[in-house]
Amino acid sequence: MKPSDPQPDAAVWTTQDWRAFAAQTADAIGGALECREDGYSEIAAPAAAPAADGAGHKSEARGRRRFGGAKQNEVVLAEEPPAPFACGAPPAAFLEMLLGSLAAHAPIQLRPADQPEAVHDLSPGLFAAYQVDGGAMHLAGCRLTDRPLVRVTRPAAGDQVEHAFFLPDGQPLAEAQIAELGLDRLAPSSSASYPHETVAAPALERIATRLGARVVAVVWVKHAECRLRFEIGDAWHDLPLAGWARSLGPAPVACPVTGRETFHLTALEDGTIVAAEEVGVCQQTRKRELARDMARCSVTGQTVLAELCDECPVSGLPTLATEFDECSGCGERVSRATLLRGECAACRNLLKVSDIDEVIAELLGRYPKLRRWGRWRAAQTGEVAIVEGRRLLGRLRLTVGIDTGDVRRAAIARGPWGQVRALTDAERGEQLG
């Protein structure tokens, strides 16, 4: 057994009423069937030039064909094909002759009856899913090609025949694929992208024989390869789409900047096309930029460009540069949101520390006069340590650089609740030495 040959039980079989199969088959080979009281006959129209149907498929000229030699199976000439027929129980002999006659001929050419046949049939279903702010979309290129599948047919119980479908390499189609491609409703086709003998290769003939199938047909299925182009101003972005034309649908676009998948595109101030969900509007400048480049001001609550903000050293939150004030306690520039009666949250929440605390010990070593102060308290921001020493008649507050250990600011207050004020140079020398 060759690797490409499927196991018999791997094939998915679908059933069809024998009358529908007979009528479809006769149409595909250029004839029509008529049911009469005395038997079943094919009606053949006089030979004529091929005529194109509404989808651009040409039907071969109808000619004479006889299924068996019995009188009831003779060909009857007619000017027009008859209306679809309905018969009682099928005569086994006639069905056997029909299958035998078809098996002796080249594979019938079929196609899914409702598959898109032209590029313009695809556009509406694709475009409807997308939204492009201030722009447009169109197909920048699309190619439809015919790809062959193979159908094999065998008699089934009662009034049925049954079909199984295969890829040209012999692999069977699953039930979901059969439904996706619309293989339950087939119509004649004149497509000939590949030679019939190449499609219905000997390996497939062997498959049909092993499965008890009598008839082989080629089903031409449209495959689409397209590029959907989105344009806003001078910028554009392409989305490649590929798949079976009948089931080809819209796919999400990956944002060219962030990678987010979307069906809604818009443009930034510089014209860059991005996912609309990734865009924010700066409430200060009114500019449209990526939301990831925005920040929420801790004072105003506005969503603004992050470049317009600084980080508050006390809260660590982004704050518009215009929303900072100097803390009267430590002299640091802090967000107004952290201030209460002029003092920042760090100055209001000093914690007790001992003389052996690293910062205190370093200060006492550098400035011996500080030993006159005690009951140390401290707090730390992102850039400075705020240190306060106490004694009976006042408080000394120092703002010390974390990296350098230098005293940036020295201030004093009278009593435990007195207002803190900065020391003059002379007072600073007296306190620090």
**What is the structure's pLDDT at 358?**
87
pLDDT in tens, the chain (433 residues): 444 455 545 889 999 888 788 777 776 666 556 555 455 544 444 344 344 444 444 333 333 333 333 334 333 333 444 444 445 545 566 677 777 777 777 788 899 999 998 888 888 888 999 999 999 999 998 999 999 999 988 888 777 889 999 988 888 999 999 999 999 999 888 765 555 555 656 667 777 778 888 778 889 999 999 999 999 999 999 999 999 999 999 999 999 999 999 999 999 999 999 999 999 999 999 999 999 999 999 999 999 999 999 999 999 999 999 999 999 999 999 999 999 999 999 999 999 998 778 889 999 989 999 999 999 999 999 889 999 999 888 999 999 998 888 999 999 988 767 788 898 889 888 888 7
With contact defined as beta carbons under 8 Å apart, do 378 and 394 qualify? no
* Closest of 430, 402, 398, 426 to residue 413, by C-alpha: 398
Total Cβ atoms within 10 A of residue 355:
12
Residues 274 and 179 in one domain: no
- Asked if the structure places residue 427 within a domain, the reply is yes
CA-based max dimension of the chain: 133
Rg (CA), the chain: 43
**What is the structure's pLDDT at 199?**
60
How far apart (Å, rounded) are the C-alpha atoms in residues 43 and 32? 5
How far apart (Å, rounded) are the C-alpha atoms in residues 106 and 76? 24
Angle at 419 between CA 418 and CA 421, to 5 degrees: 130
Amino acid at 206: R
Residue with tokens 């003092």: 343
**What is the structure's pLDDT at 65?**
39
Residues 282 and 416 in one domain: no
How far apart (Å, rounded) are the C-alpha atoms in residues 165 and 330? 83
Last residue of a domain, one of 319, 340, 361: 340
Beta 108-112 vs 215-232: how paired, if at all? parallel
With contact defined as beta carbons under 8 Å apart, do 116 and 181 qualify? no
Residues 214 and 107 in one domain: yes
- Asked if the structure places residue 250 within a domain, the reply is no
Last residue of a domain, one of 300, 318, 340: 340
359 is in which domain, residue-wise? 350-432
The total number of structural domains that make up the chain: 3
How far apart (Å, rounded) are the C-alpha atoms in residues 43 and 61? 13
- Asked if the structure places residue 294 within a domain, the reply is yes
Structure tokens at 104: 């002796």
Beta 51-52 vs 273-275: how paired, if at all? unpaired
Residue 280 neighbours by CB under 8 Å, 6+ apart: 288, 289, 290, 291, 293, 294, 303
With contact defined as beta carbons under 8 Å apart, do 409 and 399 qualify? yes
Last residue of a domain, one of 185, 203, 221: 221
Residues 160 and 309 in one domain: no
**What is the structure's pLDDT at 217?**
86
With contact defined as beta carbons under 8 Å apart, do 327 and 342 qualify? yes
- Asked if the structure places residue 139 within a domain, the reply is no
**What is the structure's pLDDT at 45?**
40
Residues 29 and 158 in one domain: yes
Three-class SS of residue 142? strand
What is the four-CA torsion angle of 165, 167, 173, 179, rounded to 10 degrees?
-70
Global pTM? 0.69
